[in-house]
Amino acid sequence: MTVPASGTSGLRSATVAVSFNPAAFRCARLAGEFADEWVELAQAARLREGAARAYLTAIKALLTYVDAEVPGAGSASLARDDPDLRQAVTGWVRVLPSQHRAGSRTPGWNAGRVRALIARRAEHPDRPVAGQRRSRSVGASVISPTITRSRPSAATTRTARPCG
C-alpha cells in the first residue's frame, strides 16, 4: 500500500510503500481480516506514513499474541466464535502495559487502534464479527472490560511520600 510519506521519508519521496504479509502469522486468516480493514482505513482517512505504521504495529502485536497464546490460532477469525477472540484480545490488552515503560500511553493507543479496526469491520454488513454482528460498539465491548480500573481498597492504598 502506498501512503503519503512523513518525516525523513518525506524528504526523499512524496509517498512510501508500507506492506504487511498476513501469511507471516499462524493466524493468517485473522491477519488478513485486519489487513483488509487497515488498508481501507488508511485509504479512506488518507493516513500518512506514521499513522499507517502505528496501526500496523498494533495489529502485529495482537497477532503475535494470538499466535503464541491462542490454541487453534490457525483457525482464528473475527467471524468465528472458536477460538474465542474476545478472550484473546482481553488477554492481550492485559499484557500490553508490561511490554512498555511505566506510564507509557502506547498500550492504550494500540488497544484503541485494534478496537477501531474491529468496530470498522463490524459496520460492514457482509463482514461478520462473531457475537456482535452489526454492532457499532463491538470494538469497545471486546476491549473495554480490561481497560476499566477499579479503585484500590483501603488496605492496599499507599500513602504518598513527599518529593525531595
Q: Hunting for cell 461478520 — which residue is that?
A: 128
The predicted pLDDT at position 13 comes to 58
CB-based burial label for 58 (10 Å; 0-12, 13-18, 19+): buried
Q: Say what the pLDDT of residue 95 is.
A: 96
Has residue 116 got a pLDDT over 80? yes
**Cis peptide upstream of residue 107 (ω within 30 degrees of 0):** no
What pLDDT sits at residue 16? 78
Quote the cell numbers at residue 136: 457499532
Whether the per-residue pLDDT at 164 is higher than 60: the answer is: no
CA distance 21 to 98: 26
Beta carbons within 8 Å of 8's beta carbon, 6+ residues apart: none
pLDDT of residue 139: 47
When pLDDT is averaged across residues 27-53 and rounded to a whole number, the result is 93
Write out pLDDT tens, residues 137-162.
Answer: 334 444 443 333 333 333 333 334 44
The C-alpha angle with vertex 83 and arms to 107 and 64, in degrees rounded to 5, equals 40
Overall average pLDDT of the 33-62 stretch: 94
d(CA 31, CA 39): 12
| Cβ burial, residue 61 (10 Å; 0-12/13-18/19+) | buried
Is residue 5 within 8 Å of residue 12, measured between CB atoms? Answer: yes
Average pLDDT of the residues of the chain: 80
Tell me the whole-structure pTM to 2 decimals: 0.74
- Say yes or no to pLDDT of 32 above 80: yes
Query: Does an H or E element contain 3, and which?
Result: strand 2-4
Amino acid 59: pLDDT: 97
Q: State the residue for C-alpha cell 481497560.
A: 147
Instruction: Judge whether 70 and 78 are in contact, CB under 8 Å.
Output: no
Which has the closest alpha carbon to 113: 84, 128, 93?
93
